[in-house]
């Protein structure tokens, strides 16, 4: 149970990204929120280690959710996001990547969200991020960072 309604990733099976869901419950009094944009993003990177040069391109994928009459919901991660997450996990574990490198790749990628008003301008739903949380049992959730439009446009 949470009184905060910010989006979270609910990991039904933490080992299987196809079971991940984004859940949110924005207070209906937040009249300024019309749309939530969710992004899967990875920053580009170039690294050199000895004679090994590696370029990692950036990724920006977007899923838009309109509030309509319901400021709450559950969203299955899009299939293309799941494919990229699984590919990155497979690449880190099967291509001779050192564990620390795999961790560093994960740090540079993730899911973010941007709340927008009816004019498509960024807004901030105070009630969604202010409040308290309580949960019991084996529910695994992951925080989703709120991002700015400049972070998802290259």
Look at residue 134 and tell me if it is in a domain.
yes
With respect to residue 61, please indicate whether it lies within any of the assigned structural domains: yes
pLDDT of residue 112: 94
Q: Which domain holds residue 126?
A: 8-152
Query: What local confidence, expressed as pLDDT, does residue 105 receive?
Result: 47
The number of distinct structural domains making up the chain is 1
What's the pLDDT at 92? 57
Q: Which of 30, 31, 12, 32 is nearest to 22 (CA)?
A: 12
For residue 141, the model assigns a pLDDT of 87
Cα(25)–Cα(5) distance, integer angstroms: 4
Q: Is residue 31 part of a domain?
A: yes
| Residue 2 in domain | no
Chain centroid, CA 49 distance in Å: 30
Pick 114 or 31 by higher pLDDT: 114
In a domain? residue 3: no
pLDDT band at residue 99 using 50, 70 and 90 as cut-offs: very low
Kindly state whether residue 102 falls inside one of the protein's structural domains: yes
Residue 106 lies in a domain: yes
Position of tokens 């690294």?
A: 47
Would the pLDDT of 119 be above 90? yes
Mean pLDDT of the chain: 81
Whether residue 52 lies inside any domain: the answer is yes
The answer to whether the pTM exceeds 0.85 is: no
Contact 6, 24 (CB under 8 A): yes
């Amino acid at each position: 149970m949470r009184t905060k309604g910010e989006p979270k990733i609910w990991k039904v099976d933490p080992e299987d990204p196809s079971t991940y869901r984004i859940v949110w419950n924005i207070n209906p009094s937040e009249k300024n929120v019309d749309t939530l944009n969710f992004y899967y993003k990875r920053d580009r990177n170039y690294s050199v280690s000895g004679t090994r040069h590696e370029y990692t391109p950036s990724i920006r994928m977007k899923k838009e959710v309109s509030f309509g009459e319901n400021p709450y919901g559950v969203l299955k991660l899009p299939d293309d996001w799941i494919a990229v997450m699984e590919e990155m996990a497979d690449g880190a574990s099967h291509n001779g990547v050192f564990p620390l490198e795999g961790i560093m790749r994960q740090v540079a990628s993730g899911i973010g969200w941007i709340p927008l008003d009816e004019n498509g301008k960024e807004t901030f739903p105070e009630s969604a991020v202010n409040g308290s949380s309580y949960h019991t049992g084996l529910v695994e959730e992951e925080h989703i960072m709120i991002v700015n439009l400049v972070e998802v446009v290259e």
